[in-house]
A and B are shown apart, each in its own frame.
Chain A
Amino acid sequence: MALEPGADPYSKSMRETIKTVEATRSRRMTEEFTRITADQKADLLKKYHPDHKAGEMVEIKVGVSKGEKTPKEVEAVIQAYSRLEPKSFDLSDIDFDVDVLVIGGGGAGSSAALMAHEQGAKVLLTTKLRLGDANTMMAQGGIQAADKPNDPPSRHYLDVIGGGGYYNIPELVRALVLDAPDVIGWLQDLGTMFDKTADGTYVTIHGGGTSRRRMHAARDYSGAEIMRTLRDEVLNRGIEVVEFTSAIELLKDDKGKCAGAVLFNMETEEHFVCRAKTTVIATGGAGRLHVQGFPTTNHYGATADGLVLAYRAGAPFIFMDAIQYHPTGAAYPEQILGLLVTEKVRGMGAQLVNFDGDQFIYPLETRDVVSSGIIRECRERKKGIATNTGMVGVWLDSPMIDLKHGPGTVKKALPAMVRQYERCDIDMTRDPILIYPTQHYQNGGVIINDRAEAGIGNLFIGGEAAGGIHGRNRLMGNSLLDILVFGRRAGLNAAALSKKTKIGKLTLKHTEDYHKELEAAGISREKISPMLLPDYRTPDTKERQKGQVPLGGAV
């Protein structure tokens, strides 16, 4: 950015509060803020967590999870009509005929594709952006696995289920924690470069809600390191990948089981029929729906497409009313608003500090609790720090890390973070950074079992689109783990099942039926999903585009 040399990236009023933060720092270095009790947590969540804000959650009126609640923004894409006309769409011409169709090219999709391919299945991976353009690539902090002598997987189980508010589906947590060490071994075997000591022991640290240090990291490019390696491997194995192509509707056969999908080439706007013996949905989350107008840490394509497809085909949801707000999204400056400031910053000792230079919450409570604490501090107690654009946040005292662990620690352990702020002329090793919660993760999703099956036959789901694993609140480092555990299970089981599967006549009758339900519920015909990509056009642009016909005319 083009700041004059020596110019302050922070406004005068922000600089004043930084001085307060600096003044209290030496006192806080030795101060540990008390963790709050279970009752206090419950009260804090009820009053300040965005999920509990009145009027934001609405009841789903159609489909198998009728009566359950979800944010308005999610409801809008769930209760919408297909991009296809199901009655007249021609399914007789099969463009792709495969054993396993994988929808989504992130960590879950790639690991599913690798596993299915290894079993000898003919695999097609379709993704609406490029292979690897996914939230996996953006995950910084790390991946949990109980693989140290003091940390049995049962301990991991306890942390996951307590963090999830005891709502988690036990068999899924069991699968998660018992597969975890094998996932680490698999990543090691693929040649990922995680932080290790000289004898090969993984360096592990705490994350919010962990009782053992079990976060494995690759500096702060943990997800990127996993994703670029999986992508390299998918390409090396010669798995067929179709990019810039989304799945816009699942297909079923006349026995009512999933039988592939209709694919849409987003560049040429052509439709293709893909018949598949088994299908894996690995389309990730919903951050780009911007629930309650929150900024998001999520990648460009996180628009809940897989949820829409699976739900229309009859797969039920769980916990679709539990959205995770990451406590530390960038609140300043404007160009990085909402981007992730990894939990590792807190894991390494940076405290959350208010206008008065005081701590107000233990920094490694679970994410829902920390987020609610920050919202309370800013909204009710009015002890946030305002920026010049009207955003309010609290300080994350990042300079504490080098003070605790020695100069150069932040640069070495958090290069992505340092770079992100350097691009804005902020030196996070010297100055604190301003943060506020940001929409980060969908805790719920489509219910799966421990084989990653979605319950409608021949359909598997891996990654963030699946629900039940994390209860109502996921812990840091369990998402990179979850996508690989259930991505791999989805791929393995989909390949095995494909060997026994014979697909009958293809149909979109389920879409027709869903349309009838929508009509009966009085849903407007103008509502169409999946969204595929968020719409960031300005109102001016939309106005000027009105009435346009495609180039080449409309004949």
Chain B
Amino acid sequence: MAAKKAATKPKAKKAAKDAGPEMVDIFIMGKKYDVPKGLTIQKALEYAGMTLLRGCGCRGGFCGACGTVYRTAGDYKLKVALACQTVVEDGMYLTQIPFYPANKAIYDINKLEPVLEDVVQCYPEFMRCVQCGTCTKVCPQDIDVMQYMATAMRGDITRTADISFDCIMCGLCASRCPAETVQYYVGILNRRLYGKYIAPPAKHVAERIKEIKASKFDREIDDFMKMDQKELQKIYEARDIEPEDLAAETATAASGEKND
């Protein structure tokens, strides 16, 4: 990312008052740019003339590439946001943290067991968590990170998986952690252990895989493959539609425990 524009022209602001959108001042890594009100931080960076390579991924709040730390003029408090999901404010001082050099353990998921010891073995430092809550404050997803660190330290993999589920792995939690723990990696390890070892395996899937291996459905599909459109269409149009099952739709993953 390179600022290619030398300076914001003062006349831009005046012109904007006449016809264009209302403008606000933002400070991109300390340097002032004026940008239209209502833009997301990400679009404001582009408006300011930058071509994004780092710090921009899905542009929809899912990938965690655009974690941003900011402060507004007159306030000492640091805040966080995803640049793609947050609208600029006047007097916003911001910097992006597109990458954080956190330690990711390398492990073979097939050789681990869903127990605290194995999580500790991967991330010994995570037991240093002092439960200060800085991670929770900094999470742009509003996850109670401190809470899942607490459940993780207790070895409650199910709860840790559940509470950490919405994590987009932006790394902002780790960036502020005084104990240098890597919450988001602890989170995914717990989720994988839960998904692989604690959630009961689906019998219906194993059964179906067996049936497919035994070529149970080959003939019917082969028949469909040979049909012309007319024949297929007739069968398609006449197929019955399974009714909605309202109860099943509301059931959810994890243990059914409630976290909040």
Are A and B a genuine interacting pair, yes or no? yes
B242 within 8 A of A: yes
Q: Are A198 and B256 in contact (CB under 8 A)?
A: yes
Q: Is the CB of A405 within 8 A of B250?
A: yes
A193 to B38: give the CA distance in the assembly, Å: 37
Expressed in whole angstroms, the minimum distance between the Cβ of A470 and any Cβ of chain B is: 15
Interface assignment of B209: CB less than 8 Å from any CB of chain A: yes
Question: Which A residues lie within 8 Å of B177 (CB)?
Answer: none
Point out which of A1, A177, A189, A228 has the most chain B C-beta atoms below 10 A from its C-beta: A228
Query: Is A47 at the interface (CB under 8 A from chain B)?
Result: no
A191-B109 CB under 8 A given contacts A348-B249, A419-B61: yes
Q: A154-B217, A154-B220, A538-B47 are in contact. Are A203 and B248 (CB under 8 A)?
A: yes
Docked pose: A406 CA to B249 CA in angstroms: 11
Give the distance to chain B from A217, nearest Cβ to Cβ, in Å.
Answer: 9
The A164-210 residues at the B interface (CB cut-off 8 A) are: 166, 170-171, 174, 177-178, 181-182, 184-185, 188-206
- Flag whether B58 is at the interface (Cβ < 8 A): yes
B23 within 8 A of A: no
Question: Does A158 reach chain B (CB closer than 8 Å)?
Answer: yes
Collect the chain B residues with CB atoms within 8 Å of residue A203's CB: 248-249, 251-253
Complex contact B204–A299 (CB within 8 A)? no
Cβ contact within 8 Å between A194 and B195: yes
Question: At the interface, yes or no: B201 with Cβ under 8 Å from chain A?
Answer: yes
Q: Is A19 an interface residue (CB 8 A)?
A: no
Contact A161 B224 (CB under 8 A): yes
Shortest beta-carbon distance, B189 to chain A, in Å? 8
Contact A200 B199 (CB under 8 A): yes
Complex: chain B residue closest to A205, CB-CB? B249
Q: Are B63 and A181 in contact (CB under 8 A)?
A: no
Q: List CB contacts (< 8 Å) of A198-242 with chain B.
A: 198-206, 211-213, 218-219, 221, 223-224, 228-229, 232-233, 235-236, 238
Q: Report yes or no: A191 in contact with B217, Cβ–Cβ below 8 A.
A: no
**B240 an interface residue at 8 Å Cβ cutoff?**
yes
A218, B63: Cα distance in complex, Å: 16
| Interface pair A415/B166, CB less than 8 Å apart | yes
Chain B contacts of A149 at CB under 8 A? Answer: 204
| Chain A residues with CB under 8 A of B106 | 235-236, 238
Q: Is the CB of B166 within 8 A of A416?
A: yes
Contact between B61 and A152, CB atoms less than 8 A apart: no
Query: Is B125 close to A, CB under 8 A?
Result: no
Query: How far apart are A527's CB and chain B's nearest CB, in angstroms?
Result: 19
**In the complex the two chains form, what is the Cα distance from A229 to B145 in whole Å?**
19
Contact yes or no, B236 A192, CB < 8 A: no
Q: How far is the CA of A138 from the CA of B165 in the complex (A)?
A: 15
Asked if A2 CB lies within 8 Å of chain B CBs, one says: yes
Counting CB contacts under 8 A, is A157 at the interface? Answer: yes
- The answer to whether B239 touches A211 (Cβ under 8 A) is yes
- The reply to whether A200 and B57 contact each other, CB–CB distance below 8 Å, is no
B19 is an interface residue with CB less than 8 A from chain A: no
Residue in A2, A153, A204, A211 whose beta carbon sits within 8 Å of that of B212 in the complex: A153
B57 touches A133 (CB 8 A): yes
Q: Of A137, A152, A197, which one neighbours B220 at CB under 8 angstroms? A: A152
| A244 nearest CB across to chain B (Å) | 6
Is A15 positioned at the interface, with any CB of B under 8 Å from its CB? no
Please encode chain A, from 145 to 164, with 1 for each CB lying within 8 Å of some chain B CB and 0 for all others: 11111111111011101100
Known: A137-B63, A155-B239, A184-B205. A195 touches B251 (CB 8 A): yes
Chain A residues with CB under 8 A of B172: none
List A contacts of B119 (CB < 8 A): none
Which of A38, A155, A206, A300 is the one whose CB lies under 8 Å from B59?
Answer: A300
A147 and B221 within 8 A (CB): no
A130 within 8 A of B: yes
Is residue A423 within 8 Å, beta carbon to beta carbon, of the partner chain? Answer: yes
Contact flags (1/0) for A266-304 with B, using CB distance below 8 Å? 110000000000000000000000000000010111000
A1-B87 in contact given A181-B205, A200-B202, A416-B62 (Cβ < 8 Å):
yes
**Residues of A contacting B232 with CB < 8 Å?**
158, 161-162, 166
CB-CB under 8 A from B224, the residues of chain A are 154, 157-158, 161, 170
For A347, the chain B residues whose CB sits under 8 A away are 249
Q: Which residues 509-555 in A have Cβ within 8 Å of B in the complex?
A: 533, 535-538, 541, 544-545, 548
Q: Determine whether A52 belongs to the interface, using a CB cutoff of 8 Å to chain B.
A: no
Q: Does A235 contact B240, Cβ atoms closer than 8 Å?
A: no
A53 at interface by CB-CB < 8 Å: no
Could you say which residues of chain B place their CB within 8 Å of the CB of A166? 229, 232-233
A188 to B193, CA, bound (A): 11
Tell me if B124 counts as interface (CB < 8 A to partner A).
no
Cβ contact within 8 Å between A193 and B87: no
Question: Digit string of B48-80 for contact with A (CB within 8 Å is 1, else 0)?
Answer: 010111101111111101000000000000000
Asked if B248 contacts A299 (CB within 8 A), the reply is no
The residue in chain A whose Cβ has the minimal distance to the Cβ of B66 is A300
Q: Are B242 and A147 in contact (CB under 8 A)?
A: no
Whether B40 and A335, one on each chain, are in contact in the complex, defined by CB atoms closer than 8 angstroms, is yes
B127 contacts partner chain A, Cβ-Cβ < 8 Å: no
A384 at interface, CB cutoff 8 A: no
Q: How many angstroms from the CA of A185 to the CA of B213 in the assembled complex?
A: 13
Q: How far is the CB of B94 from chain A (nearest CB, A)?
A: 15
A363 CB, nearest partner CB in chain B, Å: 12
**Hey, what's the 0/1 contact readout for A472-502 against B, CB within 8 Å counting as 1?**
0000000000000000000000000000000
Q: Could you pull out 6 A-B pairs where Cβ atoms are within 8 angstroms? A: A133-B57, A190-B109, A229-B195, A232-B192, A236-B108, A415-B165
Smallest CB-CB A-B distances: 9 pairs: A200-B200, A191-B192, A191-B196, A133-B57, A162-B236, A191-B195, A154-B220, A193-B195, A170-B225
